[in-house]
């Protein structure tokens, strides 16, 4: 791809939910012509509600406005996510749906059903073979390849590995079944810094594959069992879990690009929103109300090109503060690789609304 892609942006730096909603409705009105659906067409809306402790996830009020817009076009929208690979309330569909209800994403609040697209335990889906060195098979929800349109709503955050998480990560991780999530993470093999380990056992409790044990009051990770999910990193409060970021993080990013590219190739119409509010250091999987903000509130971005969208979002939030994210080099390499494999355009036209 060589032509520049259009990225629409509305600047909103307010913490007020009503101000954000007014801004989002404004961008929806401006983009009305982009929303073309067949009558009674099923339209999946990808989002994440964050884990149970997360308070900065996408607001149900914003989702409700989007659902209303799609329903007004005569289509049938539904919200969806998939099961995660670490411990918590989103590891299975039952707990995940209960959490969605408690966080305000029930049908009566947002006007559309919420579906866990990879089944009760995150194992359901259709498997495809990929001719890729970094990832050989991919398992995705079975509706991928059956529906024409896809809408992706992403809360922009930092990320413990890639440094930046938005549209690409939301598709790659959020639209793959648990086995493919593990494959994307699997090159990241953490180890324990013994002198920092207190033997508290938190990492042992959270490890989804029981790869960590206590030996002589220190944690030990079995590298043959570890799937590299990074859950132990989030659990450790003593910085005792080490990952060789420079060697492995780009492999993680490339795998996400490959998975996202494959999934998006199965849809004819793709619409992406990035919400650059409450930009926490970690993603919604690990953030809670005490989470540190790494950038100021910035606004809402829209594009039909996920790479241009993520690149523009990263550029704008950096320029707003005139500061550089310590892992900027990693996600800039991720964007370059995404362009190389045809995921989208690096160059974009930023159209401020």
CA torsion angle 17 22 25 27 (round to 10): -100
Surface-to-core class of residue 281, CB atoms within 10 Å of its CB (0-12 exposed, 13-18 middle, 19+ buried): middle
User: Crossing angle for the helix pair 245-264 and 328-340, nearest 10 degrees?
Assistant: 40
> How would you class 290 by CB atoms within 10 Å of its CB: exposed for 0-12, middle for 13-18, buried for 19 or more?
exposed
For the CA atoms of the chain, what is the radius of gyration?
19
Q: What angle do CA 323, 326, 327 make, to 5 degrees?
A: 125
Contacts of 247 (CB under 8 A, 6+ apart): none
Tell which wins on pLDDT, 99 or 239.
99
Q: What is the pLDDT averaged over residues 151-172?
A: 92
Q: How many angstroms separate the CA atoms of 181 and 84, rounded?
A: 8
pLDDT at residue 325, rounded to an integer: 66
Q: Rounded mean pLDDT of 179-183?
A: 79
- In this structure, are residues 256 and 185 in contact, taking their beta carbons and an 8 Å threshold? no
Closest listed residue to residue 166, CA positions, set 14, 317, 341:
317
Class of the CATH domain delimited by 191-242: alpha beta
Closest CA to 166 of 269, 64, 256: 256
* Averaged pLDDT, 172-184: 86
Given pLDDT bands bounded at 50, 70 and 90, which one contains residue 222? very high
How many CB atoms are closer than 10 A to CB 334?
27
The tens digit of pLDDT for each residue in 26-63 reads 999 999 888 899 999 999 999 999 998 889 999 999 99
- Residues ≥6 apart with Cβ < 8 Å to 349: 4, 5, 6, 7
pLDDT at 323 over 80: no
In the structure, what pLDDT confidence band is assigned to residue 190 with cuts at 50, 70 and 90?
confident
The per-residue pLDDT for 247 is 57
pLDDT band of residue 71 (cuts 50, 70, 90) is very high
**pLDDT at position 163, please?**
81
How confident is the model at residue 208, as a pLDDT?
A: 84
Regarding pTM above 0.75, the answer is yes
Q: Average the pLDDT over each of 122-136, 266-280, 322-336 and give the range with the smallest value.
A: 322-336
Highest average pLDDT, of 53-67, 151-165, 237-251, 280-294, comes from 53-67
Residue 43's closest CA among 118, 148, 191, 196? 148
**Are residues 229 and 182 in contact, defined by beta-carbon separation less than 8 angstroms?**
yes
Beta strands in 167-326 (DSSP E): 191-192, 212-215, 218-221, 241-242, 269-276, 279-280, 293-295, 299-303
Sorting pLDDT into bands at 50, 70 and 90, what band is 245?
A: low
Residue-wise pLDDT tens digits, 265-307: 999 999 999 999 999 988 888 888 888 888 899 999 999 999 9
pLDDT at 195: 95
Under DSSP, the state recorded for 291 is: P
Domain boundaries, the chain: 5-185+245-352, 191-242
* pLDDT above 60: residue 91: yes
5-185+245-352 and 191-242 in the same fold: no
Provide, rounded to the nearest whole percent, the portion of the chain with pLDDT above 90. Answer: 68
- CA 334, CA 243: separation in Å to the nearest integer? 18
Is the domain spanning 5-185+245-352 CATH 3.40.50.11440? The answer is yes
């Amino acid at each position: 791809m060589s032509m520049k892609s259009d990225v629409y942006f509305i600047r909103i730096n307010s913490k007020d939910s009503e101000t954000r909603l007014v801004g989002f409705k404004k961008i929806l009105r401006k983009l009305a012509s982009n929303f073309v659906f067949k009558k009674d067409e099923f339209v999946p809306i990808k989002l994440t509600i964050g884990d149970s402790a997360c308070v900065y996830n996408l607001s149900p009020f914003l989702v409700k406005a989007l659902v209303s817009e799609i329903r007004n076009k005569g289509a049938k929208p539904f919200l969806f996510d998939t099961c995660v690979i670490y411990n918590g309330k989103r590891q299975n569909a039952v707990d995940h749906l209960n959490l969605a209800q408690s966080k305000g994403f029930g049908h009566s609040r947002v006007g559309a059903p919420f579906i866990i697209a990879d089944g009760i335990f995150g194992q359901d889906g259709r498997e495809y073979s990929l001719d890729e060195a970094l990832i050989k098979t991919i398992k995705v929800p079975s509706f991928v390849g059956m529906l024409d349109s896809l809408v992706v709503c992403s809360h922009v955050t930092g990320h413990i590995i890639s440094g930046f998480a938005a549209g690409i990560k939301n598709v790659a991780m959020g639209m793959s079944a648990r086995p493919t999530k593990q494959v994307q993470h699997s090159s990241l093999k953490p180890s324990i810094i013994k002198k920092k380990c207190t033997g508290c056992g938190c990492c042992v409790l959270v490890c989804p594959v029981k790869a960590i044990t206590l030996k002589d009051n220190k944690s030990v990770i079995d590298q043959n069992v570890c799937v590299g999910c990074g859950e132990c990193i989030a659990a450790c409060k003593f910085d005792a879990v080490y990952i060789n970021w420079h060697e492995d993080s780009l492999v993680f990013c490339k795998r996400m690009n490959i998975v996202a590219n494959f999934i998006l190739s199965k849809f004819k119409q793709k619409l992406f929103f990035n919400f650059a509010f409450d930009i926490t250091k970690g993603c919604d999987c690990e953030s809670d109300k005490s989470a540190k903000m790494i950038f100021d509130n910035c606004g809402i971005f829209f594009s039909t090109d996920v790479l241009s969208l993520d690149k523009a979002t990263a550029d704008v939030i950096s320029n707003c503060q005139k500061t550089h994210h310590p892992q900027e080099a990693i996600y800039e390499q991720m964007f370059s690789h995404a362009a190389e494999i045809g995921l989208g355009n690096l160059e974009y036209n930023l159209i401020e609304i």
